[in-house]
Amino acid sequence: MISVAFENVIKHFDRGTERVLALDRVTLEVPAGQFCAVMGPSGSGKSTLLHLAAGIDSPSGGRVLVDGTDLAELSDDQRTLLRRRRIGLVFQFFNLLVTLSALENVALPLQLDGVGRREAERRAGTLLVDLGLRERLQHRPHQLSGGQMQRVAIARALVSEPSLLLADEPTGNLDSQAGEEVLHLLRATADRRRHTVLLVTHDAHAASIGDRLVRLHDGRMVSDSYGAGASAAG
């Protein structure tokens, strides 16, 4: 289990001559094992916050610490290895590789880490079966439903047994039933594996599954509350 901390983080993007402030002095600490939901409307900076935690983007100011280590002090390769071994990522649009089967997509992070193909696919297969995709192992993404694709994506995020799971609008592209299944899966997995979760969403229902709810608006943290369900509705 690892913690994530944002210390006075600023992030801006230059769009031509204009400078857009995506995050404005955000300070947030997510302790190890906590399921933290970040909620806010489009453009509030929640996806940016997630990208910073994954080390695929860097802050314009302040520090992002994963398990106490400032990501800015790591090289690109070190950040990549951190992501590969300790962080799992789930996206709104699944981001599966279209040319690979479900099994191959899930085995990918292991293979990138040097695990042999057979072993990687064995572990990926076990996970997919656990997630109810026994019949879909050799299917390519276009042969899967949205909910199935997101379950494959979650399996891919979990296959390296990460300590931190980052989920970006995981239900944003699913119908309500599939969305409900995915939320249930994320919560159940977090409870079972006891990893830290940072989930960003604009959906109050999705946000309600967290232990803690942080609200962002125009790049600023506007609220921070604990207790499942109650505060998300408000």
Partner 1 sequence: MLALLRLVSRRHLTRSPGRTLLTLAGVALGVAALVAIDVTNGSSTATIDELVRAYAGKAQFTVSAASGTLEPGALGVAAATPGVAAAAGSLQVVLLVGPDLRIALPAIAGTGDEDAIREYVLERGARPTEQEVLLGGEAARRLGVDIGGAVRALTPLGVRSLRVSGVLADRGVGRANGTFVAVLPYATTDVLYQREGRLDAIDVALAPGARANDVAARLRSALPAAEVRTPEARGGQTKKLVASLQSLLQVISALSLFIGTFLVFNTMSIAVAQRKREFGILRALGVRQREVVALVTLEATFIGLAASAAGAAVGVLMAQAFLGAVNTQIRANFVAGLADQLVVPWPRLVGLVLIGVAAALVGALGPAVAAASAAPSEAMTVPRYAAVERPLRLRLLGFAAVLGLLCLVAVNAQSNAETAAPGSVAAFALMLAIAVAAAPLLALGVRAAAPLVEGVLGLAARLARESVLRSPGRAAVTAAALSAAITMVVGLASFIDSERTTIFGWLDQAVNADMFVSAGPVGSNSAPSPLDPSLAEQIRGIPGVRAVDLYRQVRIEVGTSFAALASVDVPTYLLRGRPQFAPGTRSADLTELVGRDLVFVSDNFANRIGIRQDDTLRLNTPDGPVDFRVSAIAVDYTSDQGLIFMDRTTYVRHFHDRSVDSFAVMLERPADLAPVRDAVGRLESGALFVQSNEEFKGSIRKIVNDFFSTTYVMEAIALLVGVLGVANTMLVAVLERRREIGVLRAVGATRRQIRGTVLIEAGTIGAFGAALGLAGGAGLAAIVFLISERTTGWVIPFAYAWTAAATVTVLSLAAALAAAWWPARRAARADVAGALMYE
User: Binding partner 1 by CB under 8 A: which of 76, 118, 192, 234?
Assistant: 76
Size of the site for partner 1 (CB under 8 A): 35
Stretch of 38-46, 76-84, 196-204, 226-234 contacting partner 1, by CB under 8 A: 76-84
User: Binding partner 1 by CB under 8 A: which of 100, 129, 204, 228?
Assistant: 100
In the chain, the amino acid numbered 40 is G
CA angle (148 as vertex; 147, 149 as ends), nearest 5: 90
CB-CB contact of 31 with 198 (8 Å) = no
Residue 10 found at the interface with partner 1 (CB under 8 A): no
Beta carbon of residue 227, minimum distance to partner 1 (angstroms, whole number): 32
As a whole number of angstroms, the distance between CA 153 and CA 222 comes to 31
DSSP code of residue 71: G
Site mask for partner 1 (CB under 8 A), range 145-184, x = bound: ----x------x---x------------------------
Q: Return the number of the residue (97 or 222) whose C-beta is nearest partner 1.
A: 97
Residue 19 found at the interface with partner 1 (CB under 8 A): no
Q: Between the CA of residue 149 and those of 54, 97, 139, 173, what are the distances in Å? A: 21, 11, 10, 11
Residue 195 found at the interface with partner 1 (CB under 8 A): no
First to last CA, the chain: 30
Q: Return the number of the residue (156 or 215) whose C-beta is nearest partner 1.
A: 156
Q: Where are the alpha helices (DSSP H) in 100-163?
A: 102-112, 117-130, 146-158
- Contacts of residue 139, defined as CB under 8 A and 6 or more positions apart, other chains included, come to 101, 102
Instruction: Report the candidate in 164, 207, 153 with the shortest Cα–Cα distance to residue 183.
Output: 207
Q: Return the number of the residue (104 or 181) whose C-beta is nearest partner 1.
A: 104
Residues that bind partner 1 (CB under 8 A): 47-48, 51, 54, 56-57, 76-77, 80-81, 83-85, 89, 91, 93-100, 108-109, 111-113, 117, 140-142, 149, 156, 160
